């Protein structure tokens, strides 16, 4: 089963009937899942999570990013990791209770390469959350280097962690390759960042973050990504379009759904928007 969703809730005005910033309710009229980065900055509390749920159907699914401390970004401390883990687990209880938590996304930073300490930390995360769906996105290519790739995937299988298959520009600076392997029998996630090589390599200027994902996939590229999704050996594959630096994610996601002949029951009510 393939499901399709977006990141950045407010950045898809084409899904809004007014053309204004989109809402969760707007996205739920087209897609069965969303990825939220709110958790990266601060663990959401149960009150906020309940407000999310009120905007979408009961079957709608959420991927929620773990906090920056939990993914060992600069400034994190052991005390903050422990506190954030407790806060995140408490805040997500409404989603857990209603079976709406697709995954907690652990997006490790580019400097987080293969070391024994980092492997130990991954094991700690699984022991801390023994029953929750944990998805790992590596942003350091060393995890997929020939000497480590199979052991990386084997470790993730051992820990029943969900592999995030990444599509991003291939650059000389060590970008992460697309490794089409499932490590969890129930779920694999694909995150599609686009293939804007120049934007991906540029980290200066006021708009550099948007330029990284400023890319529209061509029909042939979407066909290739569809083949990858169908070949993954998990019961469920969630394809998340994150190529929204130039506002292309929604259109690409809808084209992908049409291309693959996907139909999602129990979507939210949809008012006519700019893409209808």
* Domain layout of the chain by residue ranges: 2-260
Rounded CA separation 239/164 (Å): 10
Rounded CA separation 106/120 (Å): 15
Nearest by Cα to 273 from 31, 7, 3, 1? 31
Taking the CB of residue 166, how many other CB atoms lie within 10 A of it?
21
User: pLDDT truncated to tens, each residue of the chain (276 aa)?
Assistant: 999 999 999 999 999 988 899 999 999 999 999 999 988 899 999 999 999 999 999 999 999 999 999 999 988 899 999 999 999 999 999 999 999 999 999 999 999 999 999 999 999 999 999 999 999 999 999 999 999 999 999 999 999 999 999 999 887 766 899 999 999 999 999 999 999 877 667 766 666 677 777 899 999 999 999 999 999 999 999 999 999 988 899 999 999 999 999 999 999 998 655 555
Rounded CA separation 170/207 (Å): 21
Beta strands 236-241 and 2-6, pairing class: parallel
Phi, psi angle pair for 71, to nearest 5°:
-105, 25
Q: Which helix (H) or strand (E) holds 89?
A: helix 78-91
Provide the 3-class DSSP secondary structure of residue 247. Answer: coil
Rounded CA separation 87/247 (Å): 33
Phi, psi angle pair for 165, to nearest 5°:
-85, 120
Nearest by Cα to 256 from 7, 1, 4? 4
Token pair listed for 197: 């090589």
Rounded CA separation 247/124 (Å): 38
Homologous superfamily, domain 2-260: Protein of unknown function UPF0759 (3.20.20.410)
Distance of alpha carbon 208 from its chain centroid, rounded? 20
């Amino acid at each position: 089963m393939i499901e399709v969703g977006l990141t950045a809730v407010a950045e898809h005005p084409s899904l809004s009937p007014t053309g204004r910033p989109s809402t969760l309710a707007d996205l739920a009229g087209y897609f069965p899942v969303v990825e939220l980065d709110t958790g990266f900055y601060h663990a959401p509390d149960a009150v906020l999570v309940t407000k999310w749920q009120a905007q979408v159907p009961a079957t709608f699914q959420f991927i929620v990013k773990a906090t920056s401390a939990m993914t060992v970004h600069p400034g994190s401390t052991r005390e903050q990791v422990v506190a954030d883990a407790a806060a995140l687990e408490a805040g997500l209880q409404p989603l857990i209770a209603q079976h709406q938590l697709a995954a907690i996304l652990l997006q490790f930073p580019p400097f987080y390469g293969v070391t024994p300490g980092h492997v130990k930390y991954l094991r700690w995360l699984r022991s801390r959350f023994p029953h929750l769906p944990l998805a790992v996105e590596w942003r350091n290519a060393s995890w997929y280097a020939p000497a480590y790739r199979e052991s990386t995937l084997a470790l993730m299988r051992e820990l029943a962690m969900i592999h995030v298959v990444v599509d991003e520009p291939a650059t000389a600076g060590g970008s992460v390759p697309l490794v089409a392997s499932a490590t969890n029998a129930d779920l694999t996630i694909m995150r599609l960042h686009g293939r804007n090589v120049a934007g991906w390599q540029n980290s200066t200027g006021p708009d550099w973050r948007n330029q990284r994902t400023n890319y529209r996939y061509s029909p042939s590229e979407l066909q290739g990504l569809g083949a990858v999704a169908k070949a993954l050996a998990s019961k469920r594959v969630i394809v998340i379009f994150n190529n929204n630096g130039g506002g292309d994610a929604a259109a690409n996601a809808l084209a992908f759904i049409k291309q693959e002949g996907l139909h999602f029951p129990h979507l939210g009510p949809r008012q006519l928007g700019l893409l209808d």
